[in-house]
């Protein structure tokens, strides 16, 4: 079955700690994305990557970092510099960046800072 | 600036009744519009999209939407809803200049028996 997996499903972090969220896809997609979802605010783009070893900041990149060493993987690190990291994080992928390429979403990771 | 406004944060409706979820957009360039559905604690699934051509777009699960350029709207409709349609629905606009989707805040559809 082709799709996107995110792990873990739930993640708890103490203030001041960095934490990494995993995103893997086996759809052979070039483009991958990270979104943050907060209640009543829709989804906001954190980072996106068009191709391996390349990524671009989205609207709310501060306090986050990513890497794209493999086509299948696009991990997101939430650093201690992110002031309010508690949120639902969604990873997505698509064939390319153009509008006609549907974005497929993973099931999400819910991060809670204690 | 490009933006998406979903006019209702919550829409309650009885089973088998029709429903319309409203979406307005703002853009000075060509638009590409999408509707996504999100079931509780899950990712998003594409319902339908408008890229060009016919302004009436049909999607999955019996949903359809109409692109109205003069009113800058892309409302989602379904003639008869089921309990299983209870979910959050997001309207989104593709911004070609920035290679990203711009999402509305979402509309929570609650279908009651």
* Burial (0-12, 13-18, 19+ Cβ within 10 Å), A65: middle
Contact between B46 and A56 using a beta-carbon 8 Å cutoff: no
The pLDDT score that the predictor gives to residue B26 is 92
Contact between B34 and B92 (Cβ < 8 Å): yes
Q: Which strands make up the sheet holding A4-7, listed edge to edge?
A: A4-7, A19-25, A76-78, A64-66
Residues in A closer than 8 angstroms to B104, CB to CB, are 42
Question: B10, B105 in Cβ contact below 8 A?
Answer: no
Could you tell me if A84 lies within 8 Å of chain B, comparing CB atoms?
Answer: no
Q: How confident is the model at residue B83 (pLDDT cuts 50, 70, 90)?
A: very high
**Would you say B81 and B13 are in contact if contact means Cβ atoms under 8 Å apart?**
yes
- Partner-chain contact A105 B43, CB within 8 Å: yes
Interface check A56 vs B, CB under 8 A: yes
CA distance B65 to B74: 6
Tell me whether residues A41 and B105 touch, CB distance under 8 A.
yes
pLDDT over 70 for what percent of chain B? Answer: 100
Is A4 within 8 Å of chain B by CB?
yes
Q: Is the pLDDT of residue B30 over 90?
A: no
Mean pLDDT across chain B: 93
Flag residues of chain A having pLDDT under 70: 1
With 90 as the cut, is the pLDDT of residue B4 above it?
Answer: yes
Count of residues for chain A? Answer: 114
* Residue B60 in contact with partner chain A when CB distance is under 8 A: no
Q: Does B97 score more than 80 pLDDT?
A: no
pLDDT for the residue B78: 98
Residue of chain B whose alpha carbon sits nearest to that of A3: B43
Q: Residue A26's pLDDT is what? A: 96
- Quote the pLDDT of residue A1: 63
User: What's the confidence (pLDDT) of residue A33?
Assistant: 96
Listed residue (B61, B73, B65, B78) closest to B16, CA to CA = B78
Q: Quick check: B54 pLDDT over 80?
A: yes
Q: Do A108 and B46 touch (CB under 8 A)?
A: no
Find chain A residues with C-beta within 8 A of B45's C-beta.
105
- What is the Cα–Cα distance from A53 to B65, expressed in whole angstroms? 38
Residues 6+ apart with CB under 8 A from B77: B18, B19, B20, B21, B63, B64, B65, B66
**Token digits of residue B24:** 């307005």
Assign B74 to helix, strand or coil: strand
For A13, residues 6+ apart whose C-beta sits below 8 A from its C-beta are A19, A78, A85, A111, A112, A113, A114
């Amino acid at each position: 079955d082709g799709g996107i997996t995110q792990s873990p499903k739930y993640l708890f972090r103490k203030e001041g700690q960095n934490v990494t969220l995993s995103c893997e896809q086996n759809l052979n997609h070039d483009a991958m994305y990270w979104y943050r979802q907060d209640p009543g605010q829709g989804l906001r783009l954190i980072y996106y990557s068009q191709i391996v070893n390349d990524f671009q900041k989205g609207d709310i990149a501060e306090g986050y970092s990513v890497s794209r060493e493999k086509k299948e993987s696009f991990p997101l690190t939430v650093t201690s510099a992110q002031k309010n990291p508690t949120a639902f994080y969604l990873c997505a992928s698509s064939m390319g960046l153009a509008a006609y390429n549907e974005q497929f979403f993973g099931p999400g990771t819910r991060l809670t800072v204690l | 600036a490009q933006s998406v406004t979903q006019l209702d944060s919550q829409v309650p409706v009885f089973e088998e009744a029709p429903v319309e979820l409203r979406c307005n957009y703002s853009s000075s360039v060509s638009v590409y519009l999408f509707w996504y559905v999100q079931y509780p604690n899950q990712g998003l699934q594409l319902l339908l999209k408008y890229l060009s051509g016919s302004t009436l777009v049909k999607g999955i699960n019996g949903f359809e939407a109409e692109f109205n350029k003069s009113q800058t709207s892309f409302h989602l409709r379904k003639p008869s809803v089921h309990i299983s349609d209870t979910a959050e629905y997001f309207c989104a606009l593709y911004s070609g200049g920035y290679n990203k989707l711009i999402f509305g805040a979402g509309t929570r559809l609650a279908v009651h028996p």
